[in-house]
Amino acid sequence: MPVNLLDHDLRGLTDFCASIGEKPFRARQLVRWIHQLREADFARMTDLAGPLRARLSQVAMVRPPEVISESTASDGTRKWLLSVGTGNGIETVFIPEVSRGTLCISSQVGCALECSFCSTGRQGFNRNLTTGEIIGQLWLANKLLSDGRPNADSRRERIISNVVMMGMGEPLANFDNVVSALYIMLDDYGYGMSRRRVTVSTSGIVPNIDRLRAECPVALAISLHAPSDELRDRLVPINRKYPLRELMAACRRYVDAMPADASPASGRATGEPMPPSIIPAALAHKWKRDGAPRDFITFEYVMLEGVNDRVEQARELVVLTRDVPCKFNLIPFNPFPNSGYRRSGPAQIRAFQETLMAAGLIATVRKTRGEDIDGACGQLAGQVVDRTRRRLRREAQESA
Ligand code: SAH
Ligand code: SF4
């Protein structure tokens, strides 16, 4: 079976090249051809020697997930359903804005964490995505959005300027594959993205927040959704394992311990150096050149009517997060059938936002995009062959 080269970051491709008797610089050429120039056909990789091209077409391939369907919302948001085999499908969403284009990508088929307000969580869980299936979403979207125009990958004309891991699945529960995909996004020979423009969103797997800081610090968003353990235990069940005190401490560590010369003029860094051994050499300059990923954490907070949207809960949040440099992003709940929740009204959301802002916090309300194609936050359902049989259990409960 040929090796899918999308499954490998620079380090993996270097090992692959060694395995076929090629020098390490070939790996860099491959990253550039595959990701920067979006080329899947080895025959067209013109600066590789003829025999190498012939060899590659025997032992390797560049195979992204297959597009099953595509939909475009009235606001220009585009969603792709991609096949990842054996009846499973994942979703990827592109959100165009005036000054940026954001691709929202998935990290797992379904999700095992069962947050009660999330449609992905209701689907059950099948498996982790491979690195190739994760980076393949960016590869495909780039190709489809650029319509073959050659200069779309020059920095000024970049169509996808930001990537958020806010699609299906919990990225920090699929750590190694997600980090490999992040390395390819950051690699100058790959997508050359700044760490500030790549965001991992997590429901709060504390040990892996620390690992992410050590191995690939990118912008971090935390799905907070509640000011107390009692409520968060119900909405985000992983909170029972990693309660708010531990989560807040991990958030502080994430922004505090950036390497001394990587922090912008915020003065936040304490100078703990990044362990050089775990940063791939080709990326080491990034930790010096373009600053800390973010010197704040983004807290995502889904607005659920009558559940977590009272002004006094906003005040509790101010106290909870007082030692964490942060911004709040309030997400109006996106409904799906039988969710059992309702979206908070605009006046309630405004009052909540104003309470946070009166305490000196930055709080924005997320514009809901792509609702008419079920492409908004938390609506992605894909096609999950549920190994956990969660859907059956839930249907049995609902009919009892
Ligand atoms: N598993 C990760 C990332 C995927 S979810 C996480 O939980 O952070 C991306 C964001 O959408 C999270 O903040 C999640 O809590 C939120 N979300 C989930 N369901 C939602 C819904 N129905 N309406 C609005 N936001 C939702
Ligand atoms: Fe999983 Fe995130 Fe949905 Fe929770 S909100 S079930 S962690 S995808």
Check residue 257 and give its pLDDT: 58
Q: Which of 149-163, 176-190, 383-397 has the lowest mean pLDDT?
A: 149-163
Looking at residue 304, the DSSP 8-state letter turns out to be: B
For the CA of 202, the nearest atom of ligand 1: 8
165 lines ligand 2 (CB under 6 A): no
By most ligand atoms within 8 Å of CB, the mutation choice from 106, 109, 300 for ligand 1 is 300
The residue-averaged pLDDT of 72-96 equals 94
With a cut of 90, say whether residue 166 has pLDDT above it: yes
Nearest CA to ligand 1 atom 13: 223
What would the two tokens of residue 68 be?
């099953």
Q: Which segments of the chain are extended strands (E)?
A: 3-4, 60-61, 66-72, 78-83, 89-96, 101-104, 108-110, 125-128, 162-165, 198-202, 219-223, 297-303, 326-332, 362-365
With a cut of 80, say whether residue 277 has pLDDT above it: no
Q: Which segments of 264-361 are extended strands (E)?
A: 297-303, 326-332
What would the two tokens of residue 12 be?
């993996």
What would the two tokens of residue 166 be?
């806010």
What is the DSSP pairing of strand 125-128 with strand 3-4?
unpaired
With a cut of 70, say whether residue 40 has pLDDT above it: yes
CA atoms within 13 A of residue 53's CA, in its CB half-sphere: 13
381 lines ligand 1 (CB under 6 A): no
CA atoms within 13 A of residue 270's CA, in its CB half-sphere: 7
* 17, 22, 91, 115: the active-site residue: 91
Q: Which of 292-296, 302-306, 389-393 has the lowest mean pLDDT?
A: 292-296
Check residue 274 and give its pLDDT: 44
208 lines ligand 1 (CB under 6 A): no
Check residue 273 and give its pLDDT: 40
What would the two tokens of residue 386 be?
């549920």
Check residue 262 and give its pLDDT: 43
Check residue 182 and give its pLDDT: 98
Residue that wins the pLDDT comparison between 293 and 6: 6
For the CA of 341, the nearest atom of ligand 1: 22
Q: How far is the CA of 170 from the centre of ligand 1 (A)?
A: 9
- The burial of 103, by beta-carbon neighbours within 10 Å (0-12 exposed, 13-18 middle, 19 or more buried), is given as buried
For the CA of 118, the nearest atom of ligand 2: 3
With a cut of 50, say whether residue 153 has pLDDT above it: no
Q: How far is the CA of 16 from the centre of ligand 1 (A)?
A: 36
State how far the Cα of 38 lies from the Cα of 58, in Å rounded to an integer. 20
**Predicted confidence (pLDDT) per residue in 89-113, tens digit:** 999 999 999 999 999 999 999 999 9
**Predicted confidence (pLDDT) per residue in 223-266, tens digit:** 999 999 999 999 999 999 999 999 999 999 999 855 544 433 32
Task: Read off the pLDDT band of 329 (50, 70, 90).
Answer: very high
Check residue 293 and give its pLDDT: 59
The residue-averaged pLDDT of 81-96 equals 95
Task: Read off the pLDDT band of 70 (50, 70, 90).
Answer: very high
Q: Is the dihedral of CA 194, 182, 232, 92 positive or negative?
A: positive
The reply to whether 377 belongs to the active site is yes
With a cut of 50, say whether residue 377 has pLDDT above it: yes
Check residue 149 and give its pLDDT: 60
Task: Read off the pLDDT band of 375 (50, 70, 90).
Answer: confident
Q: Which segments of 32-176 are extended strands (E)?
A: 60-61, 66-72, 78-83, 89-96, 101-104, 108-110, 125-128, 162-165
